[in-house]
Structure 1
Amino acid sequence: MRYMATYDLMESMRNTNQWLGATAKAIAAYPAMAMTPNPFVQWMGAWGEVTERTFERMIAKPDWGIRTFTCEDGRDHLVRVDTVMEKPFGDLIHFHVVGRPEQPRKILLVAPMSGHYATLLRSTVKSLLVNCEVYVTDWHNARDIPVSCGKFDVEDYTLYLTDFMREMGPDTHVIAVCQPAPLALAATAHLAEEDPDAQPRTLTLIGGPIDPDATPTDVTDFGRRVTMGQLEETLIQRVGFKYKGVGRMVYPGLLQLASFMSMNADRHSRAFRDQILRAARGEASDHDPHNRFYDEYLAVMDMTSEFYLSTVDRIFKRREIAKNAFTVAGKPVDIGKITNVAVKTVEGAKDDISAPGQCVAALDLLTGLPPEKKASHVEPDAGHYGIFAGKSWRNNIRPLVLDFIDANSGPASRATERVA
């Protein structure tokens, strides 16, 4: 499958389905069709509307959609997304609330690179923006990065995080969500040896696979069953001629999306069937629950092949983080060297991706950290998404994380007031 033609064929299939949806929608909207009192016409228009939107958003990066924010003064302040550090494979961005005094808490939200854009954390950003300065790692789509920019694997990801932490300074509080949790831990340990003064004050790891074998799931079982050769042969493709990254080896977003959808095929099929019926009855809208969810869920990005393969090999198969055997640029990274960064883990009791036990394993690796600087929390009845963006995050986890941050902040950066 490692051919440009395969990549272009997938894009052609997506484009064809989008065109079919647009055509059906246009035919149903043609004035002469109103002369035919047949409910099939309405159904065809509804099918076209849902189909066109579904396949169109697969290649579009969603907008953050955070334009204004109401502050304590009762006024709406503009929110400006500033690029603090620009790098080939990802940027460090800052959500600057114009006209608001700088907030005491400075948070680096490390977004996952697992198929979706950083905008997946939109609701997390909005909840933290209330009383924090929020910075986010905004990863780029691999198909848009020229081959001349070189490779990008788990070690490069780790070094990017260390650069971002250095840029933000020692008063930073890092929150890593899901996939980047083990690499954020490694980046902090790397700084502990190379540049101790640049370490963050706290590190919060949310639902990440620190030790995938601690509590096996379907995801970890898949990593065990499939060989690296099989993954490379069946999943890796070359970017086609349409994009700047032509020739780059990637794990395509469309292929990832097919995997995501197949895991809950019945639920997704039912959701789209119901949306077509709602559209036929005139009950659908641009911002209804279905479109709000799938606008984000269907927007996928390509990952570099070396990042995807090294993640499976080194994090899941060889468990280098879990065994404290990870290396960066040929140098061993000793997690036990972290001695003054407070670390908290958060897990969901019903998380079927990073099950309870996988993330809290980080605390056992922190042999040089005093017990009072370690904390953990398991949220009852919360799944994977809920621990960073759902009701469980808003009502329970976010206040606990902010309390942890405040308890481990220096006098100059301790928040005097918290809005829960």
Structure 2
Amino acid sequence: MRYMATYDMMETIRNTNQFLGASALAMASYPAFAMFPNPAMQWLAAWGEVTERTFSRMVMKPDWNIPPFVGSNGQDRLVSVEKEIARDFGDLIHFKVQGRTEPKRKVLLVAPMSGHYATLLRSTVISLLPDCDLYVTDWHNARDIPVSAGKFDVEDYTLYLVDFMKHLGPETHVIAVCQPAPLTLAATAYLAEEDPKAQPRSLTLIGGPIDPDATPTEVTDFGRRVTMGQLEEMMIQRVGFKYAGVGRMVYPGLLQLASFISMNSETHTEAFQNQITRVAQGEAHEHDKHNKFYDEYLAVMDMTAEFYLSTVERIFKNGEIAKNAFVVGGRHVDIGKITTVAVKTVEGSNDDISAPGQCVAALDLLTGLPDSKKASHLEEGAGHYGIFAGRSWRNNIRPLVLDFIDANTPGKKPHRKRGPHQPDPANYNVAV
């Protein structure tokens, strides 16, 4: 019961700060104060506006807000989001492009379940839509899932991916970003034994911890220092009475957010101080750089306790994927059974979460896959976020990924024209 009280206490603190921000903004904006202009009232209104917005975003799921794009015929293409498969813990959603008649690459983008919503990949989605028929895993906030729905751990996550891949069919190309990379690899291996014809054509793993011990980081060091008992005692709480998942054991989003911010507290403090100054001076606006980033960054979701704990224990501490010892439903999943799915890994040289070496380790596990179907890419100067969003993704990584997809699609022409001395896109930075 104390865990439920702790969960409700965190929500009470968040709610109180949101109320204080809204109250300060309303009071400082009172018309009578305009008769005697005072910089202190402008600053108070700015503080209230930033504070209210900040704490309200913590419990809101951001909208996808996918803008229309110009099609090949010069007409605007509107994009709608449709549920392809609805499940208790996550949906498979489809970004349907209105008026599109020409077939595009069918791509499944596997979003992380690591504290943020799938909308964290909004810019990735926007960049892929003109060239791909895109599907995305949209995971649910555990606080909104009734206890009656049961558990959800790494095995259940893997089986969800198996079902999604089966539904989309063998012409699918899968891109897994960060946390789901090892489980997506396991799901593909699971299909290789259970239903080989349902395997995707290609698998691109971006910045995922396939072998966390290959290149230790602060994240892996933390997992080594803390015992499972300590993690369960410090991180796990019961959902409070306000939400449909009341009583469910979770790793709360607000607690995750506190951890995220504490890692770079000085940077975040300076960012908010500067934003308050900009608001007070009338230089900020609804969709400025600060708001666009923090509206997404602050929107956090609870993870089920069993998913968080099993991820730490089985992926990081025991290294079951790295040792090819992962088990689903009592059955060993042998990654070496993947023999036809082309696999490419993408890493960033400055990635401090999944450092270079952790993701490319997947290629060594693919003992049954010929080298001609293995490829890797290391993006110089890119951090963790940069390898799936931002300039590095747009200018370098995205074209390489599309080339890799095309090279493993029968009858498909390459995405880009290559010079006479450039390698085949199936083997850019070929792994040997």
For this structure pair, what is the TM-score category when the shorter chain's length is used for normalisation?
A: over 0.9
How much does 1:37 deviate?
A: 2.8
Code of the aligned partner of 1:22:
A
**CA contact 2:88–2:145 (8 Å) conserved in 1:** yes
Please state how far the C-alpha of 1:134 moved relative to its aligned partner: 0.6
Equivalent in the alignment of 1:41: 41
Tell me which stretches of 4 or more aligned residues in structure 1 moved more than 4 Å: 415-420
Contact 2:110 2:137 in 1 (8 A): yes
TM-score by length of 2: 0.95
Contact 1:103 1:131 in 2 (8 A): no
* SS at structure 2 position matched to 1:292: helix
Question: Residue 12 of structure 1: CA displacement?
Answer: 0.5
Aligned residues of 1:67 and 1:80 also touching (Cα < 8 A):
no
Q: Which residue of 2 aligns with 1:194?
A: 194
Structure 1 unaligned runs (5+)? none
Task: Measure how far apart 1:34 and its partner are.
Answer: 1.4
Q: Return the letter of the residue paired with 2:268.
A: H
Aligned residue for 2:423? none
Aligned to 2:135: 135
Q: How many angstroms apart in 1 are the aligned matches of 2:345 and 2:207?
A: 8
| SS, match of residue 324 in structure 1 | coil
CA RMSD of aligned residues (A): 1.3
CA contact (8 A) 1:21 1:51 kept: yes
Partner AA of 2:3 in structure 1: Y
Partner of 1:351: 351
1:382 lines up with 2:386 in the alignment: no
Measured in 1, the distance between the counterparts of 2:77 and 2:397 equals 27
Q: Residue 241 of structure 1 corresponds to which residue in structure 2?
A: 241
* Percentage of pairs with the same residue: 76
Q: Could you tell me how far apart the structure 1 residues matched to 2:416 and 2:248 are?
A: 46
In structure 1, what is the equivalent of residue 206 of structure 2?
206
With normalisation by structure 1, the TM-score equals: 0.98
Structure 2 counterpart SS, 1:242: coil
Which one is further off, 31-40 or 361-370? 31-40
**Structure-1 residue corresponding to 2:291:** 291
SS in structure 1 of the partner of residue 247 of structure 2: coil
- Point out where structure 2 has 5 or more consecutive residues left out of the alignment: 419-432
SS at match of 2:79: strand
Equivalence for 1:227: 227
Measure, in 2, the Cα distance between the counterparts of 1:52 and 1:162: 41
Summarize the alignment of residues 143-292 of structure 1 with structure 2, pairs less than 5 Å apart.
Answer: 143-292=143-292
5-14 or 71-80, larger mean C-alpha shift:
71-80
Q: Describe the superposition over 1:30-49 as per-residue Cα deviations: whole angstroms up to 9, x where unpaired.
A: 01111333210000000000
- Letter of the structure 2 residue corresponding to residue 129 of structure 1: L
Secondary structure of 1:59's aligned partner? coil
Alpha-carbon distance, 1:80 to partner: 1.1
Contact 1:110 1:137 in 2 (8 A): yes
Corresponding position of 1:108: 108
Distance 1:327 1:335 in 2: 11
Where does residue 80 of structure 2 map in the other structure?
Answer: 80
The size of the alignment, in residue pairs, is: 418
- Give yes or no for contact 2:314–2:320 (8 Å, CA) kept in 1: yes
Q: Is contact 1:69–1:97 with CA below 8 Å preserved after alignment? A: no
Q: Deviations over 1:119-156 (max 9, x none)?
A: 00000001000111010000000000000000000000
What secondary structure, in the 3-state scheme, does the structure 1 residue paired with 2:86 have? Answer: strand
Residue pair 2:350, 2:384 contacting (<8 A) in 1 also: yes
The answer on whether the counterparts of 1:109 and 1:135 sit within 8 Å (CA) in structure 2 is yes
- Inter-CA distance 12–200: structure 2 relative to 1 (3 Å threshold): same
Q: Considering Cα pairs closer than 8 Å and 6+ residues apart, tell me whether 1 or 2 has the greater RCO.
A: 1
Specify the code of the residue in structure 1 equivalent to 2:13. M
In the aligned structure 1, how far is the partner of 2:216 from the partner of 2:414? 42
Secondary structure of 2:7 counterpart? helix
